[in-house]
Each structure stands twice: as structure tokens, then as C-alpha cells.
Amino acid sequence: MSATMAASRILFLSSLLLSFFMASYGAGNLQQNFDITWGDGRAQILNNGELLTLSLDKISGSGFQSKNQYLFGKIDMQLKLVPGNSAGTVTAYYLSSLGSTHDEIDFEFLGNLSGDPYILHTNVFTQGKGNREQQFYLWFDPTKDFHTYSVLWNPQHILFSVDGTPIREFKNLESRGIPFPKNQPMWIYSSLWNADDWATRGGLVKTDWSKAPFIASYRNFNSQACIWTSGSSSCSSNSNNNSTSWLKEGLDSTGQAKIKWVQSNYMIYNYCTDTKRFPQGLPLECTLTT
């Protein structure tokens, strides 16, 4: 092989490797995956797409939205929440469709007084109906570093996880008459906003605007998901491939044990035990185990 041919081959291989790394990087690049949708400059994408920040002050909060819609997905995002006295603020990270009969899968982080724990608020909407709240304390300080918050949404169930530890499962019980989100593609949204009428101790603690601006940070978005475009799913033709094995992924005995541990030690509210809220009887899914 001549020196010229060898040099050309090295250049070609280098280009392939560069393309591979650029594609891998793009999978987590926030600028490629999200649009800032509101906030009048309070949201920023930084470090060539590696970091996104949302900001809230007395005038306005801010938010972003995914460029793609998804119909099922395994989605991770790392968040570092507002530090210090964040009372009255809510950092919302969720999937949602549109309309009065929308579906939605929620992570909401309710701000706290300095030294008090954050509350992680979760909810699932089906056909416009929510009221399925579960709330947790976290077993770490979510303002000190980034932590991974994940949703696995497939035809079998919705699984909420924190740093790989499952905390909540919403099963598909359509066979028992309970709607399940499976027909409406959803966007990913996030926002940082003022909710001091309810967010902290039921609205007793108001936002201290002397601490503004409040800032939440995002990085390392990763998705294995079915992208919805022009009325069809990117998974339709290859749903049996290993790359979409998560579409059939369930919760094994280890995962079930982890959920039990989290819910025994860190759950602070479960709609399925709130008989005062549902005096006529708990929602049907609360009474079914299979």
C-alpha cells in the first residue's frame, strides 16, 4: 500500500470515527433535542449544548420543550435543583400530549425552606384525568449535584426512577377497565415557575424574592424512544430489534423490592390510601394488584 493510499485510508477511518462520536454526542445534545419556549431570555443552552438552565424571578419563569413527539420511550435527564431557600418554586419535568383529554406523566419538584427536604411529586394523567399523585422525599440533597430522573413508558407500564432506582409503577390495567396512555404521542416539557399558593406546605410558605433568580440545571439527556412523525412511529418497522427491547421491559423481583424500599421509607403521600379524598371509594387501580 502506497503512502498516499495509507494516508487516505486513515483520513477515511478518522472521518467515520468523528461521525460516530458526533452522532453519539448529538443524542444527548440539549440544543439538538429541545427548544426554549418561554421566559424571555431566562432559559439558556450553554457549553455547546451540554448544559441547559432555567431561571425564575419575580417577573417570569422559563421553560423548554422537546423538538420531537414520542409514543413510548425510555427517557433520562439529569437535573440539579434550585439550591437554598427555594420555597414556593416548582421545577416541572414531564411528558404530555395536548387537549382536554390529554395524557401526561409528571415529575414535579416542590421547593423548600433552606434545610428542609425537597418533595418529589409524581402524577399520571389518562384521557385528561389525573388525581393520581404520589409524593416522596429523596434520600439525597438534589441541589448539591446532578441526579438522573427517568421515565420508562411502554405498553405494559410506566416506571418512574431516580438514579436507576424505581420509585413508582403505573401498570396497564386496561383489561380491568382503567385507561392507560398508549395512543397519544407526547412531547417532553420542563419549566421553572412560581407556585407559592400551594407548592410549599400547602401555600403557607411564600417565595422569598430576595433570593431570586432561582436556577435549575439540566444535562445528559438520553432517550431510547419511538419518535412520532406524520402519524406514524419510528418503532413500527423494527420493534423486535434489540434497540427497542425496552418496549417489552417489565419490573423484575429486584425492581419490585427497590420500589417497596423507597415507598416504605420515603413516600409521604399516596392517593391510593387517601380515603378522605375519595369517600365514595378509592380509584379502581388502587384496589387491583394484577
The predicted-structure confidence for 187-244, as pLDDT tens digits, reads as follows 999 999 999 999 998 999 999 999 999 999 999 999 999 999 988 998 865 555 567 8
What pLDDT score was predicted for residue 95? 98
What pLDDT score was predicted for residue 27? 57
What is the set of domains in the chain, with CATH numbers?
A: 30-287 (2.60.120.200)
What pLDDT score was predicted for residue 241? 56
Distance CA 94, CA 224 (A): 16
Q: Are 114 and 128 spatial neighbours (Cβ–Cβ below 8 Å)?
A: no
What pLDDT score was predicted for residue 169? 97
pTM for the whole structure: 0.88
Q: Nearest to residue 212, comparing CAs of 26, 56, 96, 20?
A: 56
What pLDDT score was predicted for residue 9? 46
Active site residues: 104, 108
Residue with cell 390495567: 173
Residue with cell 409503577: 169
The segments of the chain whose pLDDT lies below 70 read 1-27, 236-242, 289-290
What pLDDT score was predicted for residue 114? 87
What pLDDT score was predicted for residue 3? 45
